[in-house]
Amino acid sequence: IILFGCNNRDENKIAIVIHGGAGIILKENISKSKEDSIINKLDEAISKGWELLKEGKSSEIAVIETIKILENSPLFNAGKGSVFNSEGKVENDASIMRGNDLNAGASSGTSNVKNPITLAANIMNHSEHLFLSGKGAENFAKNRNLEIVDNEYFHTKFRYNQLLNKKGEDKYGTVGCVAIDGNGNIVAGTSTGGMTNKKWGRIGDSPIIGAGTYANNSTCGISSTGSGEYFIRTVAAYQVSSLLENHNYDLKKAMYRVVHEKIGGIGGDGGMIGIDKNSNISIEFNTQGMYRAYVNKYGEKEIFLYEK
Ligand code: ASP
């Protein structure tokens, strides 16, 4: 769905891309009103991020504010709309990485932090560590005065029914954002509730730097979504960057190779979004659909839910 295609092909440095998860997303399974809600929310998020970049704000701020909009919506598997684990509880994972200094922050298994992406960013900017989990991460969030909520805040009927039905379809919905600002700084972030019915403190790829999230100003930024175990095994996000850095691939070719040959090759499914150092956007997935939107360096905004 093309909402608007502007303009005069003037190139900006700035560009932004988001995903709201990949999976079995078929038009016939989604009501018109749900489709409209998803498109509107993706539009709100991508437009906010683009506005911030246009005002001269950093890609870090754009990524955080864009992901917060998606986390605050019940439509995606992140923040408010996160899936339930096998114990009927919500546990969130998130990460963010900055491409200019390769600094990063990540958290996993938090159950009361309203916006996990802000926790990841606070860990990056205000702690001596990079990756915090569970109670410790929650205590750090309290110390940083981040918004704390009861676990019930995350409980939605839609996700609870998914747990009861243990339905494989529509289990995805992780959110992610990659942006490049006017200074050429690339930032990538990812936030998720993980997989429905996850057990034993399971952690997926989303909070793992190099798997779910990676950013390097000299190559690209990537945010992944899909069957996390496979993205960890293929070091998916970093592998794309490495193909650019070490093997002269362009972004599209590198993402194609990782998603279809590496991840697909061992039975994994999902997709990723990316931006390279020249502000080119690429999106790749091997599932039937992926919620995604971007504003490219020409200022053209596009939003898609299903196959290309
Ligand atoms: N990659 C996420 C995870 O494995 C799930 C998803 O993207 O839907 O936790």
pLDDT at 23: 84
Q: Are 23 and 172 in contact (CB under 8 A)?
A: yes
pLDDT at 25: 75
| Distance from C-alpha of 195 to C-alpha of 91, rounded to nearest angstrom | 10
- Res 74: pLDDT: 95
Tell me the per-residue pLDDT of 108-118, one tens digit each, with 9 for 90 and over: 999 999 999 99
Say which residues have a Cβ less than 8 Å from residue 237's Cβ, sequence separation at least 6: 188, 209, 210, 211, 212, 213, 214, 222, 223, 224, 231, 272
Does 206 contact ligand 1 (Cβ within 6 A)?
yes
Q: Is the CB of 204 under 6 A from ligand 1?
A: yes
pTM over 0.85: yes
The protein residue whose alpha carbon is closest to atom 4 in ligand 1 is 228
Q: Give the pairing of strands 92-98 and 15-23.
A: unpaired
Q: Is 82 in the pocket of ligand 1 (CB under 6 A)?
A: no
Predicted pLDDT of residue 145: 98
Query: Phi and psi (nearest 5°) for 12?
Result: -100, 165
Please work out whether the CB of residue 108 comes within 6 Å of at least one atom of ligand 1: no
Of all protein residues, the one whose alpha carbon is nearest to atom 8 of ligand 1 is 172
Q: How far is CA 37 from CA 34, 69, 226, 256, 305, in A?
A: 5, 13, 22, 30, 12
Low-confidence residues of the chain: pLDDT under 50: 2-3, 5, 8
pLDDT of residue 306: 87
Residue in this structure with the two tokens 């860990």, named with its chain if needed? 123
90 is written with which tokens? 């919500």
CA of 218 from ligand 1 middle (Å) equals: 27
